[in-house]
Structure 1
Amino acid sequence: MICWFHPTRRVCGCIAITSVFVFYSASAQPSHLQAKDLKHPLSSQKVESIHVKGQRNLGPATLHPAGQTVYSAQRSSYANHVAQSVSDMLVTVPGVSFTQGNGPRDPVISVRGSGNRQSYGMKNLQILEDGFPLTQPDGMARADLIDPHAYAGVDVFEGPASTVYGNYAINGAISFKTRKGTDLHGVEIGSDFGSFGMFNNYMTIGMGNRHYDFMLFGSDVRGNGYTANSRYNTSTENMRLRVNLTAKDRLVLKFINNVTDTFLPLRLSYNQFLTNPFQHGCTDIEHGAVGCASVNMLVNGRYGASQTISPEAAGLGRFDRRTLVGLRWEHDFNAHTQWRNQFTYDQRHFDQPAAAVGWVGPYNSYTVSSDITNYTHWGRTPLTSFGGVDFGYIDFSMPVYNLMPLGGATRGAWNSYLAGHHWNLGARFQEDWQFLPQWHAVVGLGGTYSDLGATQNLYSYTATATQMRSIMAQRYFFNLAPEGSLVYTPSSAWKLHTRVGTAYATPTVSNLFITPQGTYGNNTDLKSETSVGIDLGAEWHPSSNVTLQATGFYEFYKNEFVSQSAGVNTVGAYTFNVPSSQHRGIILGVNWRPLPVSLYGARMMLSYTYDNQIYTHYNEALANTQQYKTFDRSGNKIPGVIPHFLNARFLYDQPQGILEGLGGYFELTWRDKYWLDNANFLKAPGYTLLNLEVHYDPPKRMGWAHRLHWYFEVQNLTNKTYVGGATNISDKLMMSGQQANARALMNSTGSIYAGSPRAYFGGVKIRF
């Protein structure tokens, strides 16, 4: 049975657990996705009973408002299969979707569509690991450094959340939790291998006692990829050390280092995808290859004639290194008050010859935070008060080079040079009050002052001269985010919650310097995007065999950021403000054991998201060489948003007998078709994928053999050819004055990556 307890409520029951959240950190949040797999009553194995007592635990619970929608995935939902990237961790979490990004372990992760309009990374979210921020102060987080083998679970906080998390938490936050050393108490070594030359070796070391907890993880994964020019090698090191200095003082040290070395294909047009989705035979595009993406490079790297060349011949790719070091000190003044101070240094260094130009540069960021939490009573009712401040600073310098068609990503002259800074100073407080035995309320207010300053130098060349033009931006933003939530728990089987949350996101420096044509220039008038969201949800847990969570949401946006690509031979996507838009939808999660007596090991997990996003006021300007026209997009669907997203797993694990430990699942994943342009002329097709997995965990009675684990998995069982990821494309104005129709837009490049064909994977691991 799943029990819950909240420190300010002093009550417990048998429903989903209400999280206890510490500043930039989350404890486990059970949901339909993380119910413990209890042994069958007739099993010879001992059944453990877990009793949660009403003892107060320190930690600012107000930082997880009780009314916020939270879904989670525990290690049991992804540890038994290949788990190549963070998408494998989150595929069962309602409200979360993902598409293929720019690299083998860099999927675009979206919460309620937060990143579906992006080509890489995790944006419009705050990402945390063990309480330390993985999102830098400019709003950028990438998933390359996340190897699922290192993690105990992940919590997803959905909806506007800037009250707690500040800038860029426009759609919520994701908190990753590494494995505890005390849970490991030894060494675990494993290997994954499979199709397209994939091979991943990893090791985890863990140890600890009541004085300390230590976890060290390392992995190295490499493969050829299923698309031409997508060979890769990624290595990751991850460490966490907690030390109890005294009964009242604790230190937490965090270290992450990741190196990503990958070749990179170019995104296709829709017609190219239909013709040659995996870009086979495209190395030499000058000799009859069809359906191939290509890039135009200046022959001398400065001016004049250009040459069309394939990504493989050009040597396009990414070489990125990410290093993070963090330290947190926690001090208990007394049994009711805790003070926490944290510092994080995070460097993102990249060398990305990924188009007609190459980007190089270090992004160094520094974040500090301090908060205090107090548990007290207002009269006879529990009250938890939280207050905190934080400061984040990032400085950067990024030269951009023209690339030459000589192979090996040969650099030519500078195309541009960008240098600047971005910092955020924030403060927030919350009051968490249980005013009646069955009623619980949270109110809060957060605010952030942001400073963005940058200069971009643009270079142009002739045979006799070099010219430089500078564009400067100095922007200041101040945003506030109030919120309030209410929770009603009429019985141990039911919990009802409602919440009004707000959020904001300022432009990033890179947004300010790319024009609608996809070239470097002035786009410095962007405003902050803001949102107000209403959630209404319920959790029903009538027994240990059924858990259901459902949430409806309606969010109102002002100046929403939407990005679109002008084609493959551009320097980036153009970002613009939409005056007003709305997001509304339904999120559903089910965990059901249908035959608990006759077939106890059988279980079904289902997650479904309906996400309907529309422009409510937006006029788009289109131009050609002779005309300029505006078109009303009000009422149109926002492109890039997958309206229906469903994952269903049918699992079985043998709980007893000679086959105890043998299990597997059959999985169905369905993505609906979605629009690619603002005019709603062209859609990316939907798809349905089938996956199959079998694993074996020998029981303890088998002696040393129980330390072994193996699995075998088939992904995309029917070998479906599908769109793995597609970025938005720009509508076009024809010379006739009419908008380009769907047939014409099917030739717009720089949009589509194909998903993986049928693939086979296996793996083994051993524990010492």
Structure 2
Amino acid sequence: MSHCRHGLRIRALSLCLAASPLAIAAAQAQGGNQSVALEEISVTSEGNGAPGGTPISASGAARAGLPPVAAPTPLDKPVGEVVTSIGREGVIDNRAATTVADILRNSPGVTVRQGNGPRDIVVSIRGNNARATGVSRNFIVLEDGFPVTQADGSSRFDLVDPRAYSRIDVFRGPQSPFFGNYATGGALNFVTRRGSEINGVEYGVDAGSFGYLNNYATFGGVSGPFEYSLFTSDTRGNGFLSHNSFNTQTINFLGTYAPTPDDRFTLKIINNQVFAELPGRSSLNQFYLNPFQRGCASAASAAPGCVLNSLLLNGRNGATVPVTADEGAFLRGDRRTIVGGRWEHDFDAFTTWRTQLVFDDRQINQPFYTSSARGDFPGFNVLTDVTRRGDLFGLPATGYVALAYNTLDSNSLTYNRAPYGGARLGALTANLEATQANLGGRARVELQLTEQWIAVAGISAENTTIQGRNITYGFPAAGGVTTTLANIDRSFLNVAPELSLLYRPDAAWQFRGRVATGYATPSASNLTVTSAGVPGNNGQLQTQENLGFDVGADWTPLPGVRFSVTGFYEFFRNELVTQSPGAGLLSYTFNAPASEHRGVEVGADWAFAPGWRATAAYTFDDQIYTRYVEQLSNGSLTRAFNRAGNHIPGVPANQLLARIGYEQATGPLAGLGGYVETVFQDDFFIDNANLLKAPGYAIVNLNLHYTTELVGYAKRLNLFFEARNIFDKTYVASAQNLANSISASTGLQNGASVLATTSGSIFAGAPRNFVGGMRLAF
């Protein structure tokens, strides 16, 4: 992926495009009328692919009088990818899935952390993005095939209410050949419930500890050529941390109109409004003293372990005053609006053309800690692609070719915070205006070599440009205002190929191997915060690139038995790592020249007796720097430290979800069930020198639920009750990486005791809590 290999990349892209749907169509033409109707083969890990069989095309479904559906694409049937599909049963239907974390823990390779707000969850796949504390990056997120990741790679999960979804597909490993920029870790595809599945109205309410309340409703149905589903929810609570109340409202709509058997129009609308008070992130010592920040209303009478942030008295310069989260009125008030449209046209039973346009606007108001960010980030995403099923050189094949373009305008203002009197703003410290655009093409071919062997090849080529300016304002003690202008003008060209091979000797076994690449360019915001944690020029950042190898096997000897294991080894170059230089300062990003991620993912599901089922998702993830020298400065002293061989901070080596449950299928207690689960996560380093660890934990949850069909106007009743963290374990739910430091007098690196007293890192997880709920279907 260096630019010096540009000619080789273009030739490789040309070869792959030659295997595109156009080439497949040409090969079919050479064979006259001997094209054959293929079985649609789906081979994924975890045993979650659809079974083989002759597919019903979207046009065929319309002619048969079935609800209009989108034609399947490689996104829906991801041959050759390492994918886990998490459905509703036992995960959404019968429990209080208060955040997306409750669902995604069920997939190997996924780590979830608390973000900046009770429903703001930071997700990482194979440790990519594990060091983030707010915006999620390094993987792509879609809903019903519409992108909800903006052009700068940012995704947030405030807008995600788990109740809305039918399933979530987790793509693990480098996915840039399939999804383009920022897919170094993988991708998530959220699939909402179809109108035909809902077929009426559902109303539900969940209530629990700490004032938690979620009222939600779902509407869905089919009327002739129309199919629609609408989900709405209002969620609020007081939070288990001090100064942590929240409320968020969500609307999620999906509608499809099929005016002809060969044409479908889809409309997607998401709107989310979030308000959340934010507590301070504590140091490790403060976490041990006062994990839930009790007695922290006032700095003057603060209890031991309270987190204090120093705000400028005049909002500009000079003297500061320590304040608590209450006194500083730290909060987030954000809105996200997404509107997408898609047209699909079937040229014939084997060829589908799709074109979609998405408008995505993110507005933020975030006056928390020592600065306040306000901004508007509107963007567009355009995709046009063709999927062709047929035969290539006499072999069954599926070809896919796509052209994608997305852009984002960043308009962001950063202010100092002023103490007292609410969320008051101080002086303007930075003004960022930038535009990022990504333009690229992707091609992919799935080729069935024999009944047992399938080969997949794919490639993407993409050009990214970032242009704009960042003005930084300073306020000298002598008075006046200084301005520093940093112009941004960066361009990145990236190419990512992929090859995979699958072998199915029989219906019970599948073996797979995959080699794939990924890339993630810096975003405009990465380029405008210096290593001192203040606005400025950080324009030297390079593209993050990774080369990953996967080897795995899936075993499904019986309908109630599934076992999957995947080993991965990924080599990173210029890995983008984000960390905080200290309390109240902005997180900055740097390139680690070389690093390695290696591990094992295991998924298992075993119905070992009538009504009984055991489920497990385990991940081992070992990540190290192999080439990185870090420079630390204090005053006039600067020292270099070789981090090669150190563990990359923020990534637990071991994590496990294990669940055992029982469902009564017959008799008077039919529909009654329950399970007990444990969530385990290893301790992990939170600094590059590997001096300080955030402690690991194991929590236990208990669930009881009951489902029954009703007679009359109401069709179905779901009831559930859940006790979470039943042993009341105090644990770390989120830990931001901390920058190491040196002594200003000796130049020696400060030890773990200094890091342990550095605040701005840790949020505690929820203590023992209870939540129950019901859902009625009409």
Among 104, 110, 116, which residue is 2:124 paired with? 110
**Aligned-partner Cα distance in 2 for 1:470–1:137:** 24
Report what 2:617 is aligned to.
607
| Contact 1:97–1:109 under 8 Å retained in 2 | yes
User: Residue by residue, what CA displacement relative to the aligned partner does 1:494-527 show, whole Å, maximum 9, x if unpaired?
Assistant: 1111110100000011111111121112210000
Give percent identity, aligned residues only.
Answer: 41
**Contact 1:63–1:430 at 8 Å: present in 2 too?**
no
Rounded to whole Å, the distance in 2 between the matches of 1:472 and 1:698 is 63
What pairs up with 1:555-594 in 2 under 5 angstroms? 555-570=570-585, 572-594=586-608
- Residue 663 of structure 2 is aligned to residue 653 of structure 1: yes
Could you tell me which runs of 5 or more consecutive residues in structure 1 were left unpaired when the two chains were aligned: 1-6, 20-28, 36-49
Offset of 1:629 from its aligned partner? 1.0
**2:84 matches 1:71:** yes
Match of 1:24 in 2: none
Shift of 1:415: 1.4
1:703, CA displacement in angstroms?
Answer: 6.3
8 Å contact from structure 1 (residues 65, 442) kept in 2? no
Q: 1:673 aligns with which of 683, 689, 692?
A: 683
> Offset at 1:659?
0.6
SS at match of 1:728: coil
The CA distance in 1 between the partners of 2:224 and 2:403, in whole Å, is 30
> 5+ residue gaps in structure 2?
1-34, 58-70
Which residue, 497, 501, 510 being the options, matches 1:482? Answer: 497
2:735 equivalent in structure 1: 726
Q: Which residue in the other structure is 1:148 paired with?
A: 162
Q: Structure 2 CA distance, aligned partners of 1:422 and 1:258?
A: 24
1:706-751 deviation line (CA, Å, top 9, x unaligned): 6221111000000000001101101111232221111221011111
SS in 2 for 1:732: coil
Q: In the alignment, what sits opposite 2:746?
A: 736
- Partner deviation per Cα, 1:300-329 (whole Å, 9 max, x = no partner): 112221111111111110000000000000
Q: 1:402 to 1:458 in 2, by over 3 A?
A: same
Q: What's the offset of the Cα at 1:9? A: 10
Q: Is the 8 A contact 2:115 2:122 kept in 1?
A: yes
CA shift in 2, pair 1:688/1:136, >3 Å: same
Provide the residue aligned with 1:542 in structure 2: 557
Match of 2:172 among 158, 174, 179: 158
> Where do 1:667-706 residues align within 5 Å?
667-699=677-709
2:247 to 230, 233, 238: 233
Name 1:503's counterpart in structure 2. Answer: 518
CA–CA distance in 2 between the matches of 1:59 and 1:188? 28
TM-score when normalising by structure 2: 0.91
- Written as runs of structure 1 = structure 2, the 5 A alignment for 1:49-68 is 53-55=53-55, 57=57, 58-61=71-74, 65-68=78-81
Task: Note the alpha carbon deviations across 1:72-113, whole angstroms, 9 max, x for none.
Answer: 110112221111111111111111110111011111111101
319, 325, 334: which one aligns with 1:320 = 334
- In 1, Cα distance between equivalents of 2:135 and 2:209: 25
Alpha-carbon distance in 1 for matches of 2:42, 2:765: 37
Match for residue 80 of structure 1?
A: 94
Any residues of structure 2 matched to 1:336-351 within 5 Å, and which? 336-351=350-365
Question: Following superposition of structure 1 onto structure 2, how do residues 226-305 of structure 1 map, counting pairs within 5 Å?
Answer: 226-305=240-319
2:647 corresponds, among 628, 634, 637, to 637
CA spacing shift, 1:561–1:616, aligned 2, 3 Å: same
Q: CA deviation at 1:65?
A: 4.8
| Structure 1 residue 31 displacement after superposition | 3.6
Given the alignment of the two structures, is residue 120 of structure 1 paired with residue 134 of structure 2, yes or no?
yes
Q: CA deviation at 1:237?
A: 0.3
Q: What is the RMSD of the two structures over their aligned residues, measured on CA atoms?
A: 1.8
Matched with 1:333 is 347
1:708 corresponds, among 708, 717, 722, to 717
Higher alpha-carbon deviation: 539-548 or 201-210: 201-210
**Cα distance change of structure 1 residues 747 and 9 upon mapping to structure 2, 3 Å threshold:** farther
| Distance in 1, Cα, partners of 2:139 & 2:75 | 19
2:773: which partner in 1?
A: 763
> What is the aligned counterpart of 2:373 among 337, 355, 359?
359
Change in Cα spacing, 1:653 to 1:65, as seen in structure 2 (3 Å) is: closer
Structure 1 segment 360-375 matched on structure 2, within 5 A: 360-375=374-389
Query: How far, CA to CA, are the matches of 2:235 and 2:397 in structure 1?
Result: 48
Residues 113-170 of structure 1, C-alpha deviations (whole Å, 9 max, x = no match): 1121101132101000011001000000000000011100100011001011000001
- CA 291–64 in structure 1, closer or farther in 2 if over 3 Å, else same: same
**Per-residue displacement from partner, 1:463-504 (whole Å, max 9, x unpaired)?**
641221111111000000011000101000011111101000
TM-score when normalising by structure 1: 0.92
Q: Which amino acid aligns with 1:761?
A: V
CA distance in 1, matches of 2:441, 2:99: 34
Check 1:704–1:690 CA distance in 2 against 1; reply closer, same or farther (3 A cut). farther
CA shift in 2, pair 1:379/1:569, >3 Å: closer
Q: Residue 581 of structure 2: SS of its match in structure 1? A: coil
Judging changes above 3 Å, is the alpha-carbon distance between structure 1 residues 209 and 536 closer, same or farther for their aligned structure 2 residues? Answer: farther
Output the CA distance in 2 between the equivalents of 1:604 and 1:268. Answer: 37
1:155-194 equivalences in 2 (<5 Å): 155-194=169-208
Q: Following TM superposition, by how much is the alpha carbon of 1:574 offset from its aligned partner in structure 2, in angstroms?
A: 1.5
Distance in 2, matches of 1:256 and 1:98, equals 23
Return 106-115 or 733-742, whichever deviates more: 733-742
* 2:638 paired with 1:623: no
Say if 1:9 and 1:479 are closer, same or farther in 2 by CA, change over 3 A: farther
Shift of 1:51: 8.6
Aligned pairs (5 A) from 1:740-751: 740-751=750-761
User: What whole-Å deviation, never above 9, does each CA across 1:280-306 have from its counterpart, x for those lacking one?
Assistant: 111112225221111111111122211
Equivalent-residue separation in structure 1 for 2:527 and 2:239 (angstroms):
34
| Partner Cα separation in structure 1 for residue 259 and residue 347 of structure 2 | 14
Q: Spell out, residue by residue over 1:252-276, the C-alpha distance to the aligned partner (whole angstroms, 9 max, x if none).
A: 0000000001111111110110110
CA distance in 2, matches of 1:210, 1:651: 41
Distance 1:63 1:525, change over 3 A: farther
Distance 2:479 2:742 in 1: 36
Q: Which amino acid aligns with 1:262?
A: A
Aligned-partner Cα distance in 1 for 2:754–2:417? 29
* Partners of 1:402 and 1:415 within 8 A in 2: yes
In 1: Cα distance, 2:623 partner to 2:37 partner: 37
**Structure 2 CA distance for partners of 1:288 and 1:431, relative to 1, 3 Å:** closer
Residue 417 of structure 1: CA displacement?
Answer: 0.9
Q: Is the 8 A contact 1:268 1:752 kept in 2?
A: yes
Cross-structure match for 1:47 = none
CA contact (8 A) 1:63 1:164 kept: no
C-alpha offsets along residues 217-240 of structure 1, whole Å, 9 cap, x if unaligned? 100011000001110000000000
Deviations 1:663-682 (A, max 9, x none): 01101110000011111110
Q: What residue is the counterpart of 2:402 in the other structure? A: 388
Sort the Cα spacing of 1:741 and 1:189 in 2 relative to 1 into closer, same or farther, 3 A. Answer: same
Could you tell me whether the CA contact under 8 Å between 2:429 and 2:535 is conserved in 1? no
